[in-house]
Structure 1
Amino acid sequence: MTTFVHAADIHLDSPLRGLFPYEGAPSIEEIRGATRQALDNLVRFILAEEVPLLVIAGDLYDGDWQDFNTGLYFAGQMRRLAEVGVRVAIVQGNHDAANAMTKTLPLPDNVKVFKSRKPETWLLEDLGIAVHGQSYASAEVTANLAAFYPEPVDGMFNIGLLHCLTSGARGHLPYAPCTVDELASKGYDYWALGHVHSFSVLRERPRIVYAGCSQGRHIRETGRKGCVWVEADHGALTTEFVPLDVVSWLGVAADVSGAESIAEAAFLFGKALGEAMDSQGGRPCCVRAVLKGRCAVHGRLCSDPIALTANIRAVAADVSGKKAWIEKVVVQTGPEANLDQLAQSDTPQGELLRYLAELAAHPQDIDLDLTDLKAKLAGSGVEIPLRDMEQVLKDAGALLLTALADAQSEQEAS
């Protein structure tokens, strides 16, 4: 029986991005060092399951280290594996190649780092395994490395270890590009891939797998993160995803239709957050709050983002027991009124909407100086969507329509 663990994209000591401290947020100590905690979980799993081999498919590190402590910490974890005879095979990815310190750090004898000049094979005869791999020579590798990987070794379980982008994968730079069919044609039993940060099985026969990263680091890396446990027994191959992450990234959308105040919209978000947190097992979560639906408070949600964010954070702290960190609040609501009809009306609101539509048709003519506003919003978790001028104008319209409605109400009351 052949058993090993496939990990990738550990990005050791990479910070979690987009998080700002605020009252009621989880303790910074709970998320600082999350990638180290994920590595600890990986090592503990290997030791507990008595797995004899770990393969790491690139991006062990995260570019330049601040000092040698990052590498020393990894070396210490590898010594723990060496003490019980676990071998470790590593190919360096684009982030590893960008780090000069990576090349000078000595690792224990149980660790094999594949060279970058050409592919090579590591024979582990006692395990009946042949690992084929090649590291990156530089941070940008655009050649198809897989094309030159060696033939499989007869009578052994052959693993291809590669940091690459396969055709059809999205959201990552096209490094060491190749196709799934090219990988399958090599005749290996298993391809352990890295570079794409989501776990995915690209093909069953042969098994071609992205392990994904071991710890999500920003809102684009949602869902559980971990490694892959692999067992081959008389031709039958079993793979199992094993979660390792200690902090989750979640996008939580709440329907706030009918809300008449910021507090009510925040309350409705809290209900959605509570449901999302139920599946997290008490782990800290970094959350992007998304508000949807048509509501009377739409204009105020757009016009007072600081108050909205404060309300959302307060509700999140209460609902989650200070386990949810609000990374950002995104307003995707709309007014209850039919804006298309309103724009055709002979009213101040209609004239305003027609003017904004004219501006939206020529966004290049709009020159906004938002320096002071950006300074006020710094560190609040609120962003101005300057890349989407149409959205800026919609938000401005919502603000002005709300102001007009308030003025009309005051006149009617007096």
Structure 2
Amino acid sequence: MVNRLDQQISFIHCADLHLDSPFKGLSHISNQITDQVRESTFQAFNQMIELAIDKQVDFVLIVGDIFDQEEQSMKAHMTVIRGFRRLMENGIYVYLSFGNHDFMKSQTFPRNYPDNVFVFEKEQVEVFPFIKNAQVIANIYGFSYYNRAVENNMVPQYKIKGDVPFHIASLHGSLGNSNTDHANYAPFQLNELKKSAFDYWALGHIHKREILSDKPAIVYPGNIQGRSIKETGEKGCYHVTLSESGSVLEFCRLDQIQFRKVSLDAAEITDINEVMNIVEKQMELTLQTIDKVLLELTFVQAPDHFIKWDKEGKLVEMRELWNEQFSQQTNWAQILKIKIEKSRKIHEWQEGEQFLQQLQTTFAQSSDLEDIIEPLWYHVEGRKWLDQLAEEEQEELLSRAKEEVFYLLHESEESE
């Protein structure tokens, strides 16, 4: 029997690397910066490898979705192998599982990972030992997705095995009944994990970093690099130290580029030149704390003349000027999207109007733009101009359409 009082291990817990992420919706930024954005997941992965070496950890634990797509590129495949070889050269092990994006059945490349890598191959919970100084110091538990979805609760399969100092569970899944943008795969309840005898639950799948519990530690590290304006803020991994006294967690940034949402008050803006000055100052201020940033600007309390500037395309022209101006430097800022919130809310002038209420309901039910425009795909001329739309692009088009319809109706109402 190994005395736990004499033992300590440290490891990197990361998840949702999403190598090869396509980063759609970048049409408004320069090609040079687009290339940097597409490289960001690879750079974040390489930085994670160097972090593990600098911290001299015992192993790296990767909890699903290493790759973004079912069919991996040779670049993604080789980036992972080279990173794992670097870890092997430094005596660091890797324990990994595959998730809903890179599920086992979809993979075409032979993995050919070096001998320091242990892969959870099955859609049943397996156990790998971590051996240090000829002793088993920890058992590491996990499973991989064989198909795209795992819909059943996997927690009952996690059973403590062996008399070893530490037991670490890895689980790519969703906290049951949680309201997230992610599919509800391998759902679990928090009390199930808390009641278990595991020392650490390494979670994956949810891209928002969150510590669900301290004792035992139940942790979502989030993804290592934001991929859309829905994934704002710092991204990275946790450096975890386990000992007899418990767990110590240190968040370590890995992201190369950040997404940020910024709100600007437009209520007192009377001259369009003020817009230029306000936005430039905001971009300069943002770059004082972030090296590279993709922004969504929302002008709130926008008066009618501000909305008119937007309809005339002046804000779009300004965005091009801002993006060009702030791309000519090592640390840069780019505006992905500009949103307008009117000073008079839609609900304030639609109340009591049955037609407008029905229109609002119609927009609320129009969640899939692909279904709406499906007839165009069968039109001889129309389909020539269509591309598959990313989720963010669909949402933006629906939002713009809604704003335009209500704006025109509002204009008509006020002119009567």
Q: Distance in 1 between matches of 2:85 and 2:130?
A: 19
Checking the alignment, whether the CA contact within 8 Å between 1:197 and 1:213 is kept in structure 2 is yes
Residue identity opposite 2:169 in structure 1: G
User: In structure 2, what is the equivalent of residue 226 of structure 1?
Assistant: 236
Q: Could you list the per-position Cα deviations for residues 88-138 of structure 1 after superposition, in whole angstroms to 9, with x for gaps in the alignment?
A: 001111111166335632211111111224211111131611101111111
Q: Could you list the per-position Cα deviations for residues 231-290 of structure 1 after superposition, in whole angstroms to 9, with x for gaps in the alignment?
A: 12332321011000101011111112121244323432333333333221x2x2111111
Tell me whether 1:91 sits opposite 2:97 in the alignment: yes
Checking the alignment, whether the CA contact within 8 Å between 2:72 and 2:107 is kept in structure 1 is no
Q: Could you list the per-position Cα deviations for residues 146-198 of structure 1 after superposition, in whole angstroms to 9, with x for gaps in the alignment?
A: 21112153232111011010125322111000011111222100000000001
Task: Give, in angstroms, the shift of residue 199 of structure 1.
Answer: 1.0
Checking the alignment, whether the CA contact within 8 Å between 2:168 and 2:199 is kept in structure 1 is yes
Q: Distance in 2 between matches of 1:251 and 1:308?
A: 17
Tell me whether 1:327 sits opposite 2:336 in the alignment: yes
Q: Distance in 2 between matches of 1:196 and 1:254?
A: 29
Tell me whether 1:310 sits opposite 2:320 in the alignment: no
Give the secondary-structure state (helix, strand or coil) at the position aligned to 1:90. strand
Which of 9, 14, 34 is residue 21 of structure 2 equivalent to? 14
Q: Aligned residues, how many?
A: 381
Checking the alignment, whether the CA contact within 8 Å between 1:134 and 1:162 is kept in structure 2 is yes
Task: Give, in angstroms, the shift of residue 387 of structure 1.
Answer: 5.8
Tell me whether 1:277 sits opposite 2:287 in the alignment: yes
Which of 351, 354, 360 is residue 356 of structure 2 equivalent to? 360
Q: Distance in 2 between matches of 1:70 and 1:40?
A: 11
User: In structure 2, what is the equivalent of residue 131 of structure 1?
Assistant: 140
**Distance of aligned partners of 1:61 and 1:390 in 2 relative to their CA distance in 1, 3 Å threshold:** closer
Q: Distance in 2 between matches of 1:189 and 1:46?
A: 21
Which of 190, 197, 205 is residue 215 of structure 2 equivalent to? 205
Matches within 5 A, 1:115-264: 115-126=121-132, 128-169=137-178, 170-264=180-274
Checking the alignment, whether the CA contact within 8 Å between 1:213 and 1:226 is kept in structure 2 is yes
User: In structure 2, what is the equivalent of residue 290 of structure 1?
Assistant: 298
Checking the alignment, whether the CA contact within 8 Å between 1:51 and 1:86 is kept in structure 2 is yes
Q: Distance in 2 between matches of 1:97 and 1:297?
A: 52
Task: Give, in angstroms, the shift of residue 394 of structure 1.
Answer: 2.9
Task: Give, in angstroms, the shift of residue 297 of structure 1.
Answer: 2.0
Give the secondary-structure state (helix, strand or coil) at the position aligned to 2:11. strand
User: In structure 2, what is the equivalent of residue 349 of structure 1?
Assistant: none
Checking the alignment, whether the CA contact within 8 Å between 2:21 and 2:38 is kept in structure 1 is no
Task: Give, in angstroms, the shift of residue 357 of structure 1.
Answer: 5.3
Q: Distance in 1 between matches of 2:339 and 2:302?
A: 14
Larger Rg: 1
Q: Distance in 1 between matches of 2:27 and 2:188?
A: 39
Matches within 5 A, 1:65-76: 65=71, 67-76=73-82
Checking the alignment, whether the CA contact within 8 Å between 1:215 and 1:246 is kept in structure 2 is yes
Give the secondary-structure state (helix, strand or coil) at the position aligned to 1:142. coil
Q: Could you list the per-position Cα deviations for residues 50-83 of structure 1 after superposition, in whole angstroms to 9, with x for gaps in the alignment?
A: 1120000100111233533321221111011111
User: In structure 2, what is the equivalent of residue 391 of structure 1?
Assistant: 403
Give the secondary-structure state (helix, strand or coil) at the position aligned to 2:168. strand
Give the secondary-structure state (helix, strand or coil) at the position aligned to 1:33. helix
Checking the alignment, whether the CA contact within 8 Å between 2:327 and 2:334 is kept in structure 1 is no
Structure 2 stretches lacking a partner, 5+ long: 1-7, 364-371, 377-381
User: In structure 1, what is the equivalent of residue 36 of structure 2?
Assistant: 30
Task: Give, in angstroms, the shift of residue 18 of structure 1.
Answer: 1.4
Percent of residue pairs bearing the same amino acid type? 26
Checking the alignment, whether the CA contact within 8 Å between 2:176 and 2:189 is kept in structure 1 is yes
With the length of structure 2 as denominator, give the TM-score of the two structures: 0.81
Q: Distance in 2 between matches of 1:324 and 1:208?
A: 35
Q: Distance in 2 between matches of 1:365 and 1:148?
A: 44
User: In structure 1, what is the equivalent of residue 62 of structure 2?
Assistant: 56
Q: Could you list the per-position Cα deviations for residues 186-215 of structure 1 after superposition, in whole angstroms to 9, with x for gaps in the alignment?
A: 210000000000111000100000011001
Checking the alignment, whether the CA contact within 8 Å between 2:65 and 2:205 is kept in structure 1 is yes
Task: Give, in angstroms, the shift of residue 229 of structure 1.
Answer: 0.3
Residue identity opposite 2:210 in structure 1: S
Q: Distance in 2 between matches of 1:245 and 1:201?
A: 19
Give the secondary-structure state (helix, strand or coil) at the position aligned to 2:41. helix
CA RMSD of aligned residues (A): 3.4
Give the secondary-structure state (helix, strand or coil) at the position aligned to 2:288. helix
Q: Distance in 2 between matches of 1:6 and 1:320?
A: 34
User: In structure 2, what is the equivalent of residue 410 of structure 1?
Assistant: none
Which of 9, 25, 37 is residue 2 of structure 1 equivalent to? 9
Task: Give, in angstroms, the shift of residue 29 of structure 1.
Answer: 3.1
Q: Could you list the per-position Cα deviations for residues 378-414 of structure 1 after superposition, in whole angstroms to 9, with x for gaps in the alignment?
A: 9xx9986536865333322566699x7xxxxxxxxxx
